[in-house]
Amino acid sequence: MTTLKEIENAVSNLSEERLSEFRAWFIEFNNQMWDEKLKKDINSGKLDNMVSEALNDYSTGKCEPL
């Protein structure tokens, strides 16, 4: 198994072009991981209280336009 130190070392030795490619890949990877976590939290009901509070604030006029 690759250690974090090995990954850090490999990334630090990338050329500018390869680092740019890695950065783009990692941003997409990170975004997908975030989306999956958010979907799990939504499906499990973990965010229900926050959604209810936000909808209540909106319906009672406590929100302002951005």
Residues 57-66 have a mean pLDDT of 91
Contact 25, 33 (CB under 8 A): no
Q: Given this model, what pLDDT does residue 60 score?
A: 95
pLDDT digit string, tens, across residues 12-57: 999 999 999 999 999 999 999 999 999 999 999 999 999 999 999 9
Q: Given this model, what pLDDT does residue 66 score?
A: 85
Positive or negative: CA dihedral 12, 18, 24, 25: negative
Q: Given this model, what pLDDT does residue 33 score?
A: 98
pTM: 0.69
Q: Given this model, what pLDDT does residue 1 score?
A: 66
